[in-house]
Structure 1
Amino acid sequence: MDDLPPPLLLEILSRLDDSADLARCRVASKSLNSLAPDIRSVNLQCSYLRYAKSRSPLTRSSVTPFKAVFNKLVSELHTVESVSIGVEKPLRLVAYDDVEDEEDDLFLNDVSFVKEWLTKVSGELKSFSVSDFWVQSCWRRSDVLSVLSSYCLSLLELEIKNAWLSVDGLTPMPKLTTLTLEFIRLDDENLEKVNECFPSLKVLNLVGVGGLKEPKIHLMHLKSCHWTLSNAPESITIISPSLVKLILKCVKPNLLAIETPLLSDLHLSLESACHFKVKEFRELRKLNLESTGLRNLLNTLPFGRTVRNLTVISTRWEVPVGVTKSSLELLLCAFPNVTSVTLTSGAWSEFETYPGLGGVESRAQMKGLRGITAYLTVNDIEITLSTIFFLLDNCISLSSMALFIHRDVVSIVTSSLISRCVARCARVQWKWGMWKEGTKDAWISDGI
């Protein structure tokens, strides 16, 4: 390897994801050791094994402190553009009650530690990611946002996980375009500081951010937003004229206000219906809708006419007494121009329970439906077949059906279902697959 040209060696080193691997390469080769200071990124993750050794009376004296290892790596580089530091996944799952850790050796958002290395690299730093050790960070409030905004004037991407963050002293970071806060306790209950200090954000991920009361996202340049709320605020507001994709998961806010005229891809997860305040979605084409009270939600949605591709996820369908419309009819009433529908197992099971149509109007609405993807449990093959045949008879434009059968269904039932469906309708392109909770979908055959 020492015979390779230096630029090629540097490229190889730059592709190493783990700085620990880089350190091993430096020991193994003089050429690699001489080129290593030109690497522009640091990625160091504390493993559970290292953590365990640092706690054991037999080995702790021989373990170099994690922060010291990181500081040494940073100090040896000429220019640092990207920093990623954190704890590996097994450590993230450690509960405070299991450890009662009063130490701070893995409190990575500690301001004194951050300042120690940040002052050396802040001028060129473009990306910073830190995944803290929750056991040590959950009860220590950090002013790391204030420090980053003071030193990192060129920062473009920021990711912080597993921390308690204060916004005291936070100043605007006009160059930052991507912000991810995951499993964060945030002292900014309405997101006022986030809106004020990150005006140029194009990508915002707020996953499991607690402490929010009436949060409002008001960002003019935002294009993609993933927002999962860990509590149940009274109201949720999103005003983003450039937003194209939104993933929103919440419980049941009293008010959900969305003003995003360019939105084309929406993933919405709600427990049940709430009060909507929504400007018209003229560009909305793709919708993933998830709810435990989907029937009520479908009756209250103030949008849907532009949706073409619809996915329905339900974990608890409830068929009210005296119902006159099937679940599919409700979907087609709410989304009259849909051409493709995906029904998860809960939605399909309810449809099997009550597949009937209400009348001529409902039949007319089904003419535009061209493709159905469904996940089947096949508790009774005759009921499943009658539901499939009902769709074939009433959806006259239907040209494609992709049916995934649960892996626990015996093979003779699966074979019978496939053969009878193919024999019943030749105009449809049949696709068959298998599914099971926690496993990846697999195709049995494609394009029969």
Structure 2
Amino acid sequence: MDDLPLPLILEILSRLTDSADLARCRLASKTLNALSYEVGSINHLCSMSRYLKSRSPETKLHVTPFKTIFKDLVSRSRFLESVSIGVDKSLSGVSFDDLEDESNDLYLTDFRFMKEWLPIIGEGLRSLSISDFWVQSCWRRSEALSLISSYCLSLIKLEIKNAWLSVDGLCPMPTLTSLTLEFVRLDDEDLSKINNCFPSLRDLNLIGVGGLREPKIHLLHLRTCQWSVSNAPLSLTISAPNLVILKLNCIKPRSILLETPSLSDFYLSLENADEFKLTISPSLKCLQLESFNLVSLFSMFNYGETIEKLTLDSFRRTEFVEVTNFSLEKLFDSFPNLSNISLGPGAWSDAEASFRTGGLNDRTGMKALKEFVAHLVIYEFEFTLLFIFSILDKCPKLLDMSLLIPHEVDSYVASNLMSRCRDEFSRVRWRWGIWKEGTEDTWIFDGI
């Protein structure tokens, strides 16, 4: 190792996925020890194995405390720009019943713990990530944000997970452009202060943030936003004139108000849409919807003619429904200028159920469709095949057809479906794959 060029050794040390290995390298040689203090990033993760050893009577006296290792790593590092400290996702299964006392050995947003190391390295930090241990942090309100805003004056990216945060003492951070809060407890007034103190945010991710009742986001420079709302009922307001991409996951909101004139990509998932109102951007091009009742959402989009790419799915996926209010005709009535359609298994099942009862009628928008993607649900082989053929008959410009077959379908049935489709419509470029709930799609054939 000592024979390697020093820049190469430094690059290797910088790529270690767990910086506990960096601490071990310091004991291996003088060269590694010296270079270890020049790395630009620290990633310190508490694994389930370390957690169990630290609590076992046989091993806990031989385990160096997690926080002690981290403080040693960062306190003598001279060029740190990125720091990540957290617990492994496997520890999310640890419950309060598993704890014997009110320990704080993994309470990572602890003000006193952060005060011991953040002032030393904060000035040069550009990225900071803290993933706390929920069973120790959820009942302790942390003022970590005030420390971060006081000492990290050049911070660009901030990520905090599994914590109860206070905004008391929060100072403006004009350099921060990316913020992720995941499974964090906040109040409406806390979110308002975040709006005011982080005015330059371009990327915002709020995943499972609890405590919000009528939250409002007002950020002039925001470009992308992912917001997963776990509680209900809620009214949501987003005022962001430069927002381009929005991913919104709700349960049963009372209202959603979007003042987003530049929005072009919108992903909306919610259980029920019977009583909520939506104001949407006229510049929308790509839309993805998921709901129990898709048709009730269609009327919310007054500018449906601007949408060119549409992805749909219904939460109903397990049983065949003879009568449904969703159909391809209603889809094209609401979105007449589509060039690309993608249907999830629930939406395909609903569309095929409508086809079984009334066939497929012509719509003007069908003449412009060029690409079609579907996760098939095959209840009766011949009806599924007939539905596919009807779509291709009504859509003369449809030349790209991507169909995913359920993984449980017999291989003979799947092969028969593919061969008959190719024989009947040789003009089409067929792409075939397999889908399974909870896993990524697998593509098995791509060609004519």
Same fold per superposition (TM over 0.5): yes
Moved more, 20-29 or 429-438: 20-29
Q: Is the 8 A contact 2:182 2:208 kept in 1?
A: yes
Percent identity, aligned pairs only?
Answer: 56
Moved more, 190-199 or 92-101: 92-101
Equivalent residue, structure 2, for 1:280: 281
Match for 2:228: what amino acid? T
Q: Is the 8 A contact 2:431 2:447 kept in 1?
A: yes
- For residues 381-401 of structure 1, the C-alpha deviation after alignment (integer angstroms, 9 at most, x for no partner) is 011011111112111221111
Taking structure 2 as the reference length, what is the TM-score of the superposition? Answer: 0.94
Structure 1 gaps, min length 5 = none
Equivalent residue, structure 2, for 1:348: 348
> What is the deviation of 1:220?
0.3
Alignment of 1:194-205 (within 5 A): 194-205=194-205
- For residues 54-109 of structure 1, the C-alpha deviation after alignment (integer angstroms, 9 at most, x for no partner) is 11122211211111111111122123221110101111232224436511110000
Q: Report the Cα distance in structure 2 between the residues aligned to 1:377 and 1:303, rounded to whole angstroms.
A: 31
Q: Is the 8 A contact 1:430 1:446 kept in 2?
A: yes
Equivalent residue, structure 2, for 1:418: 418
Equivalent residue, structure 2, for 1:377: 377
Match for 2:87: what amino acid? V
The alpha-carbon distance between structure 1 residues 399 and 306, as it changes in their structure 2 partners (threshold 3 A), is: same
Residue aligned with 2:304, SS: coil
Residue aligned with 1:217, SS: strand
- For residues 8-64 of structure 1, the C-alpha deviation after alignment (integer angstroms, 9 at most, x for no partner) is 221222222221122232222322212111112211011111111111122211211
Match for 2:86: what amino acid? G
The alpha-carbon distance between structure 1 residues 18 and 320, as it changes in their structure 2 partners (threshold 3 A), is: closer
The alpha-carbon distance between structure 1 residues 320 and 32, as it changes in their structure 2 partners (threshold 3 A), is: closer
Structure 2 gaps, min length 5 = none
The alpha-carbon distance between structure 1 residues 441 and 94, as it changes in their structure 2 partners (threshold 3 A), is: same
> What is the deviation of 1:233?
4.1
Alignment of 1:6-405 (within 5 A): 6-99=6-99, 101-189=101-189, 191-273=191-273, 274-282=275-283, 284-316=284-316, 327-355=327-355, 356=358, 362-405=362-405
Moved more, 194-203 or 300-309: 300-309
- For residues 279-327 of structure 1, the C-alpha deviation after alignment (integer angstroms, 9 at most, x for no partner) is 5332x2211111112122223333322111111011228999987x752
Q: Provide runs of 4+ in structure 1 moved above 4 Å.
A: 317-323
Q: How many residues align?
A: 444
Q: Report the Cα distance in structure 2 between the residues aligned to 1:190 and 1:278, rounded to whole angstroms.
A: 25
Q: Report the Cα distance in structure 2 between the residues aligned to 1:137 and 1:348, rounded to whole angstroms.
A: 43
The alpha-carbon distance between structure 1 residues 444 and 245, as it changes in their structure 2 partners (threshold 3 A), is: same
Residue aligned with 2:26, SS: helix
The alpha-carbon distance between structure 1 residues 346 and 87, as it changes in their structure 2 partners (threshold 3 A), is: same
The alpha-carbon distance between structure 1 residues 443 and 74, as it changes in their structure 2 partners (threshold 3 A), is: same
Q: Report the Cα distance in structure 2 between the residues aligned to 1:15 and 1:331, rounded to whole angstroms.
A: 49
Match for 2:199: what amino acid? P
Q: Is the 8 A contact 2:323 2:353 kept in 1?
A: no
Residue aligned with 1:191, SS: helix
Q: Is the 8 A contact 1:87 1:131 kept in 2?
A: yes
